[in-house]
Structure 1
Amino acid sequence: MKIELFKRSHDGGPNSGVTGYWLIEWKLGFSIVILRFSKGSREAFHSHAFNAWTWWIKGRVMEYFADDRTPLPWRPSLKPKFTPRDCFHKIVAQEVTWAISFRGPWMETWQEKKLDKVTTLTHGRVIVE
């Protein structure tokens, strides 16, 4: 897979409300991305193709879990948030929020859950049948 530098794109699909500013994206190795969360959230709970460490820079979000665990508030801190690739969650921004995320290597697939339907996705958000 190729290495991409200094790109801007949606993170989590075009309706996610999250814009990513990648310093580097190398899916076989790691990525560093600055994230801008618009107020609100996409409707889908999701896992990730990667593990990630995220530092919240500005704003406030709530993290909700598909298994009904107690939601967690996140705000700027020196303490990072670790998100394992199998964490099924969604982030709801209480206001425009900024973060920087360091992501590990990508697995081939991850999942989204909308209206109790789980979909498996692969690179390019292609649905795996």
Structure 2
Amino acid sequence: MPELRCDPTIQDPPTHDVRAVDAASFIHGQAVAMKRLSFVLVFCCAMGSGPAWARLKMDDLASLWPRASITDKIDFTNRMGKAMVALSPDLTREYFMRCLEETANIGDTRNLTLSDMVRTCVSLHAQPSSEEP
């Protein structure tokens, strides 16, 4: 009788369901794809709302001020406060926020730029008070 030998190249049939493995691989692939998509969306949203193209600039029309978001207004007044505080310690971001809000809401600002409004705020601050002691 011939001797029976085990062939090491022959493998036992799988003891698990192949479809379950394929489903698990598919779900894992979906999770990886969702993570990548989430990263791309977060990155695009961060870039889209960032200061790269949403910032108020000095040459923007003053009529944009009332419609600008509060974050854009804060960003602009922070920059003006940092730039102008060297002229006077009273030219703070709070002063510019108050002054620009008041200036934008009175009169016709159709032809003015934000630069014109900032100059107006600086000149209003430089004028001596009308109250005399």
TM-score normalized with structure 1 length: 0.23
Higher helix proportion, which one?
2
TM-score normalized with structure 2 length: 0.23
Higher strand proportion, which one?
1
User: Which one has the largest radius of gyration?
Assistant: 2
